Amino acid sequence: MSGWRRGLPVVLGLGLAALAACRREPAAPVLLIDARAKPDLSATVAVAPADAAARPTAPAGPAPPGSAPAAADPGPDSTDAAVEISGELALPPGPLPRERLMVYVTLRDCLNDASPLLRRLPASDNRNYFVAVIAPRGSSLSVCAAAEPGPGKPAHLYGRASQTLQLTQAADQTFGAVDVTLAEGAPRRFPSQLAR
C-alpha cells in the first residue's frame, strides 16, 4: 500500500474534525429601528447647488392629498423647527490638543455668555460633527467649538463658525458645511447647561 493511501484517512479525519469545530450557528438578524416617517418616494427631489450648502433647505414639495404628515413635522401650530447642522472643525498647525473637542449650538451668538445653549456635544475623532436641535422658527443660531478641559472650565483654543444660521419658517431645516476654525485666544468659559 502506498504512503498516500495510508495518510488519506488521517487527512480526511482531521478535515472533518476541523469542519465540525468551525461550525457556527447562523448570525442573528440585525434589528434596525427607524423612527422617522416613511419617505414618499414618488415625490421628486430637488438637488441644491454646492454653493447652497450653508443655506437651509425645505422639504421637496407638498405631500400628496390624503397622506399623513411627517412625524418630525411639529405642525402648523408649533413655533419650533427641527434643525440639523453638520460641519468640520479645523485646528491650527501643530500638535493635537489633549482636551476633548466640543461643539456648542446656541440661539444668537455663541460667544455671548447670555445666549441660551441648545446643544453641547463632542466632535467625532476625525473632527466632524452632526447635531440636531429644536429652535424657534425665524431665529438665528450660532455654532462654536472649543478644546474643553472640562465642563465649565475655561478653554484657550476655540472658534465660531463664520456664518450665522438664520432659520426660516419651515418646520424642518438643514445646514451643511458649517465649519469652525479654532485658534488660541483669551481663556473663555462655554456653557455646559442646556437652556431647555
Domain edges within the chain: 75-188
Residue spans of alpha helices (H) in the chain: 3-22
Buried-state track 24-52, b at ≥16 Cβ within 10 A, e below 16:
eeeeeeeeeeeeeeeeeeeeeeeeeeeee
Per DSSP bridges, beta strands 165-166 and 180-181 are: unpaired
Mean pLDDT of the chain: 76
Q: pLDDT tier at 75 (50, 70, 90 boundaries)?
A: low
Residue 102 scores a pLDDT above 70: yes
Work out the average pLDDT over 164-181.
Answer: 95
CB within 8 A of 161, min separation 6: which ones?
A: 87, 142, 143, 144, 178, 179, 180
In whole angstroms, what is the distance from residue 146 CA to residue 123 CA? 10
Beta pairing, strands 155-160 & 183-188: antiparallel
Q: What is the mean pLDDT of residues 120-144?
A: 95
- Give residue 147's pLDDT: 96
Does the pLDDT value for residue 116 go beyond 60?
yes
Mean pLDDT for the stretch of residues 93-113: 93
Cα angle 23, 27, 28; round to 5 = 145
Contact call for residues 142 and 164 (beta carbons, < 8 A): yes
Chain centroid to Cα 173, Å, comes to: 14
Instruction: Determine the pLDDT at residue 7.
Output: 61
Q: Are 123 and 158 in contact (CB under 8 A)?
A: no
Average pLDDT, integer, range 71-100: 83
Q: What's the pLDDT at 45?
A: 42
The domain made up of 75-188 has a fold known as Immunoglobulin-like (2.60.40)
Average pLDDT on 47-65 reads 46
Distance CA 189, CA 196 (A): 19
Whole-model pTM: value is 0.61
pLDDT value of position 192: 82
**For position 191, what pLDDT does the model report?**
85
